Amino acid sequence: MSSSSYLPSWFTFGNTILAFPRSIEPLAPDFHNCDARYGTNLKTKECKWAVASMPRAREGAEVEWAVNHQGALYTLPMTLNGKKKENCAVSIEAAGPKAHYDVGVYNPPFTLKASPFQLRGLAANIVNTCVRDKIGRDGRPMEGSGGKGGFATNQIQNLADYVQNTDDLSTYPWNSTYLTVTVHPKGRDPPQAGNYDPSVAVLVAEYLKFRQRGTPRDLWNKLNRAIGDFTLRTQKMHAGGKTTPWWGATAGMADKMSYECDAELKAPAQVDCAQVEWSELGPDEEDVALGPTLSRILTSNTCQLVITAAVATVVNWGQIRVALDTLLNVCVANPIQRPTGGRAYVGTHAGVSGGIWGRQLNNITTDAWASGLTGLNALPTGINITVSATPPG
């Protein structure tokens, strides 16, 4: 291992001594998500510089962070760029409708309290789990290892508490706001992962499902409609893209596809399913012929993807990738309920069954979403995608 590839726990930045903080794992319901759509080819050393330049305080100490104004010690969003000639940055952002920094929307000013020590530790965890590359015998990063961006949430319990205790899901007050820390390439706008990543919409739907238990029929139906809305939004969102926010309108969305989680398919490893998506699927524009006697089986270690069609059909890998992306988002990575395999298809009972949660796989960058494909319309009738644990033997 080359000592030049990593920094010690302390190092100098100009004439200033900076310390790389201790890595802190997010505690549920907070979570982290590694995804190449937040950045690729990031370097561990460069990202450590950016993390080390974040605001600091002693462990347990909270400071004020200004949202929609500049009346506190720190103002959000905040981006730390590290060293001038390097290509990694860290953004600290407030997330939620009242913190949505759209120049065309006025939101009242408010202040959040959060621990710089905690935020630095979450950013260090992203560097260690998403960015950190494997070093070969020649002392250089191995091809295809690490280098991805990602984000972590902080205080998302604020949103979970509000969702579980309100009867009005048409508005979200300032105290349902939470924070995100994102590691990404320098030069791009703050990615607003807490507003646009589908994992947040899935989190809200999950808590609504918990709240449904034992409620009167009228309230159960109301919550069920809300769960359906969040499910629709999830299928219109994708990591790293400013599309539909998790609270956005659902008018005009038609839920045409079904995503079913099935415990009998068992649980493949998340990293292996990421490898299927990374290495086994072809380019988005490449055609795939399918039919009753022509199926595709793609495997990586514990993860198996089976693509079948009831009639002779030609689709492209981009369509399959978008449907697979949504299916993995729904079933495979679920820290609240036990993850399982699942199926994606066009069916009469469109929607999502089983436990749902935002995917935490290391995914690839794809332009398939730019073509208008979403989890709602990716596949034609008759095609079935199944993800399962690889059968023994």
- Chain segment 195-229, per-residue pLDDT in tens: 988 888 888 888 888 888 888 888 888 888 888 78
Residue-wise pLDDT for 24-55, tens only, equals: 999 988 988 888 889 888 989 899 999 999 99
pLDDT surpasses 80 at 341: yes
User: Distance between CA atoms of 35 and 183, rounded to whole angstroms?
Assistant: 10
Q: How confident is the model at residue 136 (pLDDT cuts 50, 70, 90)?
A: low
301: left (phi over 0), alpha (psi -120 to 50) or beta: left
Contact 328, 265 (CB under 8 A): no
Mean pLDDT of 123-128: 94
User: Tell me, what's the pLDDT at 371?
Assistant: 55
Q: Which of 159, 154, 194, 164 is nearest to 176 (CA)?
A: 159
Please give the average per-residue pLDDT across 303-314, as a whole number. 88
In angstroms, the CA 70 to CA 111 distance is: 10
pTM over 0.75: no
pLDDT over 60 at 117, yes or no: yes
Distance, CA of 58 to CA of 9 (rounded, Å): 16
pLDDT at 115 over 90: yes
> What pLDDT is stored for residue 251 in this prediction?
60
How far apart CA 217 and CA 197 sit, in angstroms, is 31
Average pLDDT, the chain: 80
- pLDDT at residue number 312: 82
pLDDT band at 158 (very low <50, low <70, confident <90, very high): very high
Output the pLDDT for position 252.
59
Res. 240: pLDDT tops 70: yes
Higher-confidence residue of 10 and 308: namely: 308
The answer on pLDDT for 372 being more than 80 is no
- Per-residue pLDDT band at 253 (split at 50, 70, 90): low
d(CA 148, CA 38): 7
**pLDDT confidence of residue 362:** 28
* pLDDT above 90 (res 185): yes
Over residues 60-78, the pLDDT tens digits come to 899 999 998 887 789 999 9
pLDDT at residue 176, as a whole number: 94
